[in-house]
Structure 1
Amino acid sequence: MEVWDLFDENRRPLGKQAGRREPIVKGEFHIVVVVCVINEQNEILLTLRSPDKEKYPGTWENTGGALEAGEESRTAAVRELFEETGIRVRENELHLLDSQMEESAFIDVYVVRKSVPVEKIRLQEGETVDARWVSLDEFCRLGEEEKIAPPIYRRFCRLKGKLDVFIREESRKERYPACRGEKRQESKKMIIIGCSGSGKSTLAKKLGRIMDLPVVYLDALSWDAGWKRKPFAEFDRLTEAEIRKPEWIVDGNFPRTVEHRMDVCDTIVYLDFPRWFCILSVLKRVLTGYGKPRPSMNEGCPEKFDPGFLKRIWNFDQRSKAHYYGYMKKLSGTKLIVLKTRKEVNRFVKQAEKEGRFIPGNYPK
């Protein structure tokens, strides 16, 4: 019998499991993956549910299924796609389109570019009975005619904008190179730390685009309009919900909880810039963007001159640097990347464009 791991509303493991046909208690969730396959003609692959299926028999759907106990999200997506269609892909070929909470499950929606003749699609006995490629317009028409399983069509309507963006960005076709047999660690959960003014948010945005990883700005989670700081409990809840997702880049320090983020990430990028450089960068930012919110901030939090902020930058090395280095040395199995100049950052970005998520570390443990 298929067994699922259970999680709470923040995607934290509960240490409990449930069988496929067992009822799930309110407040408990399992994880489901959905894979949207798109060919070179920008058509979507659909499979027809068996007429013997208990739910939505005889309707069209995308590939998908629940994670088995102990399974990772991307691993499950690769498995489900092969089991239901015979299509083989690598984990790093999958692009996470979105992760949503729906009823008693978290739904991780992946998209992958793959062109396979429909006659070569291998259907799963007892699950699917037909397959076809359809255009986006035809997908919508089938959905309006209720020929697509309702949850699939509702999800498509919510994510259509993100799917359109993916299709337009042709450079994503071959975003990540193969690992070429090297046992290099793939980065899926990355944190970027360092003194304010070192360029963390700018780097996070670039890496998010290059590596197809969603970016979380801790400043945006921490501040409401008018520079009103959220209560610690609310900030912690919002942060925890983000880092329980299967992949991300988190930008920001927040020393009170940074050790926890170091523990759960697979990659740390530390921008170790001189404090004079950081202060000049912040002053330049204030002069050029005064009265307007930064891209990594919420509306209602305009750029301003803050002497106390500059003082914290000046004292950063004394208060935080030794702590960060000391804790990084204690970590096991985490990729560590330390960058100390703009030239090093630019080289790192170029390397990421070439290596994708297999970018190597440069700091010895």
Structure 2
Amino acid sequence: MDLSELGDRICILGPSNSGKSTLAQAIGQKCNLEVIHLDQFYHWPHTNWQVRPRDEFIALHDTAIAGDRWIMDGNYTGCMPQRFQRATGLILLDVSTSTSLVRYFYRTLFQSNRPGNLAGGQDSIKWAMLHHILVVTPKNRKRYTQLFNQAELPKIRLTSRREINQCYLDWSLQRPL
């Protein structure tokens, strides 16, 4: 699929640490789209990933999707219906649990300035995140696949690091530094 087929309002879904934010940043840069990392709306900046009140998160989300040109990474299924109504394209990164786990350790230990990072936040290895990747994410994977299959949008499903890397090549994307 050609990147232009996804339009000017693209959603990227997938498990934690699958590369959603990095891909969003690369596509946003290439296509001149506003890059929206939902984790930054869901959590307070300058905290250790402290969650905002739900109504504030939804207000930030709904304001962002009202824009004309954006790429948004993150799941947050409670607000997917309104996001999918505005979206023109969908990308699902459906990578393995082991890939997500390796990426979590790598980004936490070696990437202090990564796309989607929380402003002023300090990444560290957390038992809660390990539990999320190993226990919660496999259950969510089925839900993401179902939502992806039901969406009546131009869409692409990438199931491995190899497929994701091929999209970077095919779409002439530059990985953020």
Pairwise TM-score range, normalised by the shorter structure:
0.7 to 0.9
1:347 and 2:166 are equivalent in the alignment: yes
Matched, 1:222 2:19: no
Structure 2 Cα separation of the partners of residues 288 and 318 of structure 1: 25
Partner in structure 2 of residue 336 of structure 1: 155
Q: Secondary structure at the match of 2:171?
A: helix
Larger strand percent: 1
Kindly provide the amino acid, as one letter, of the partner of residue 70 in structure 2: W
**Aligned-partner residue type, residue 154 of structure 2:** K
- In structure 1, what is the Cα distance between the partners aligned to 2:43 and 2:133? 19
SS in 2 for 1:256: helix
Partner of 1:315: 135
- Structure 1 runs (4+) deviating above 4 angstroms are none
* Greater RCO (Cα-Cα under 8 Å, separation 6 or more): 2
2:89 corresponds in structure 1 to 267
Distance 1:346 1:239, change over 3 A: same
Listed as ranges, the matches of 1:1-365 within 5 Å are: 185=5, 187-224=7-44, 225-226=46-47, 227-289=49-111, 292=112, 294-332=114-152, 334-353=153-172
Is contact 1:273-1:340 (8 Å) kept? yes
Q: Which moved more, 1:195-204 or 1:345-354?
A: 345-354
2:22 and 2:115 in contact (8 A); partners too: no
Secondary structure at the counterpart of residue 203 of structure 1? helix
Q: Secondary structure at the match of 2:131?
A: helix
Equivalence for 1:27:
none
The TM-score with structure 1 as length reference comes to 0.43
Contact 2:6–2:155, Cα closer than 8 Å, also in 1: no
Structure-2 separation of matches of 1:186 and 1:281: 26
CA–CA distance in structure 1, aligned partners of residues 13 and 100 of structure 2: 13
* Residue 216 of structure 1, CA deviation: 0.4
Residues 294 and 302 in structure 1, CA contact (< 8 A), matched pair in contact too: no
After TM superposition, the structure 1 stretch with the greater mean CA deviation from structure 2, 296-305 or 277-286, is 296-305
CA deviation after TM superposition for structure 1 residue 339, in Å: 0.6
Check the 8 A contact 1:221/1:239 in 2, yes or no: yes
Secondary structure in 1 aligned to 2:116?
coil
Identical counterparts, % of pairs: 25
Q: CA RMSD in A?
A: 2.1
SS in 2 for 1:312: helix
SS at match of 2:119: coil
For 2:114 and 2:93, locate their aligned partners in 1 and report how far apart those are by CA, in whole Å.
19
Task: Give 1:239 shift.
Answer: 0.8
- Secondary structure of 1:190's counterpart equals strand
CA distance in 2, matches of 1:317, 1:302: 22
Shift of 1:218: 0.7
Distance in 2 separating the partners of 1:186 and 1:272 = 18
Which entry has the higher C-alpha Rg, 1 or 2?
1
Per-residue CA distance 1:256-300 (angstroms, 9 max, x = gap)? 2234323321111111111011111101112214xx464423322
Q: Partners in 2 of 1:256 and 1:301 — Cα distance? A: 25
Q: Take 1:288 and 1:266, find their aligned partners in 2: how far apart are those partners? A: 34
Q: CA deviation at 1:235?
A: 0.7
TM-score, structure 2 normalization: 0.86
**Matched residue pairs, number?**
169
Using the TM superposition, give the Cα deviation of residue 353 of structure 1 relative to its aligned residue in structure 2, in angstroms: 2.9
User: Partners in 2 of 1:339 and 1:203 — Cα distance?
Assistant: 12
SS in 2 for 1:228: coil
Secondary structure, counterpart of 1:319 in structure 2: helix
Q: 1:221: how far off? A: 1.2
Please tell me whether the aligned partners of residues 293 and 301 of structure 1 are also in contact (alpha carbons under 8 angstroms).
no
Shift of 1:352: 2.1
Q: CA deviation at 1:317?
A: 4.6
Letter aligned with residue 59 of structure 2:
R
For 1:186 and 1:328, the matched residues in 2 are separated by 14
